[in-house]
Amino acid sequence: MSEARRSVGVVRVRGGARLTASDAAAAEEPLEVRLHGQPFAVIMRTPGADRELAAGFLLAERVITSADDLGTIAHCTDPAADHPENIVDVTLVNGSAAAIDRLMAGRRQVTTTASCGMCGRRTIESLAADVSPLRPAWQVTAAAIAALPVLLRARQAVFEETGGLHAAGLFLRDGTLIDVAEDVGRHNAVDKIVGRMLMRDALPLSEHLLCVSGRTSFELVQKTLFAGIPILAAVSAPSSLAIELAQEYGVTLIGFIRGDRFNIYAHPDRIAP
């Protein structure tokens, strides 16, 4: 069984009968992200793609702004560490000791849960300093949007076994699915996708669409914006703050995709009539 799932005991109730059996559950474990050896954050995640997750997380937190800022990302090699597989250490290019100390001093220690991301640590107003609105003028068809969740679900291998993972899928303008990440957290799945592309020096993703399996929050729109992705689609609802951020910064925000039906909450001009 892969690291993304665990075998667990279960009692199945069927009518008045009970049966003891085994089942597959989505794995959730803490990942400690260190900067130059110093603890920075703990992310509750599904193991796998840890380096990409760390890179995407640091981009969303604006610790880095491009692949040029990354030095190395490696799992802990200290044999005395408890669960070194759950620790990654990140070094930054030109990250002096003084600069790292200033970064640490200006940040509260945080454990991110799988469900809430960074819980609105940044505000809409605070984004104006380091990101510009997205302005791609290309369009996609309504049919291409309607097909996104179907294509994504077909690639959710662990979800099929556990029913317990969210997914994020990166698509080209023509609707071709090029990458998928699964995790117990929607935010983590997006960070894994974005981090993977960041490590390939492929940002901004201005010719791409992102589709997520759950609802869209402020943090998901923020991550989409930082990656330069102009269209974010979801099978469920957006929050009011997610809509405000999308409207303000040029992200086409789509929700409630059900068959050939969906709602466009921001910048509908990118969906061809």
Instruction: Specify the pLDDT at position 159.
Output: 58
| 206-260 residue pLDDT tens | 999 999 998 899 999 999 999 999 999 999 999 988 999 999 999 999 999 999 9
At residue 98, the pLDDT reads 74
Percent of the chain with pLDDT over 90: 63
pLDDT-derived band at 1 (thresholds 50, 70, 90) equals very low
Reported as a pLDDT band with limits 50, 70 and 90, residue 77 is confident
pLDDT at position 199, please? 97
Q: How far is CA 5 from CA 53, 155, 192, 230, in A?
A: 18, 16, 17, 33
Percent of the chain past pLDDT 70, that is, above it, reads: 87
Indicate the pairing of strand 38-45 with strand 110-112: parallel
Band of pLDDT at residue 181, cut at 50, 70 and 90: very high
State the pLDDT at residue 54.
97
The sign of the dihedral angle between the CA atoms of 52, 2, 161, 144 is positive
Look at 6-15, 53-62, 155-164, 187-196 and tell me which has the smallest mean pLDDT: 155-164
Per-residue pLDDT, averaged over 154-173, amounts to 79
Q: How many CA atoms lie within 13 A of 153 on its CB side?
A: 11
**Catalytic center residues:** 116
Q: Which residues pair with 23 in a beta bridge?
A: 8
pLDDT at 87: 95
Predicted confidence at residue 79, as pLDDT, reads 81
Q: How confident is the model at residue 158 (pLDDT cuts 50, 70, 90)?
A: low
Q: What is the pLDDT of residue 208?
A: 98
pLDDT higher than 90, residue 140: yes
Is the Cβ–Cβ distance between 262 and 255 less than 8 Å?
yes
The number of beta carbons lying within 10 Å of the beta carbon of residue 145 is 24
Q: What is the pLDDT of residue 119?
A: 42
- Separation between Cα atoms, residue 84 and residue 31, nearest integer Å: 10
Could you give the 3-state DSSP secondary structure of residue 10? strand
202: CB partners within 8 A, 6+ apart = none
Give CA 251 to chain center in angstroms: 16
pLDDT of residue 6: 81
Q: pLDDT, tens digit, for every residue of 191-221?
A: 999 999 999 999 999 999 999 998 899 999 9
Report the C-alpha gap between 100 and 78 in whole angstroms. 21
Average pLDDT for residues 71-75, to the nearest whole number? 95
Structural domains of the chain sorted by starting position, each given as residue range(s) with its CATH number in brackets: 29-119 (3.10.20.10), 140-272 (3.40.140.10)
pLDDT of residue 99: 75
Confidence of residue 27 (pLDDT cuts 50, 70, 90): confident
When pLDDT is cut at 50, 70 and 90, the band that residue 121 belongs to is: very low
pLDDT grade for 118, boundaries at 50, 70 and 90:
very low
Contact between 70 and 93 under an 8 Å Cβ cutoff? The reply is: yes
Judge contact between 183 and 190, C-beta under 8 A: no
Answer for the pair 171, 210: CB distance below 8 angstroms, yes or no. yes
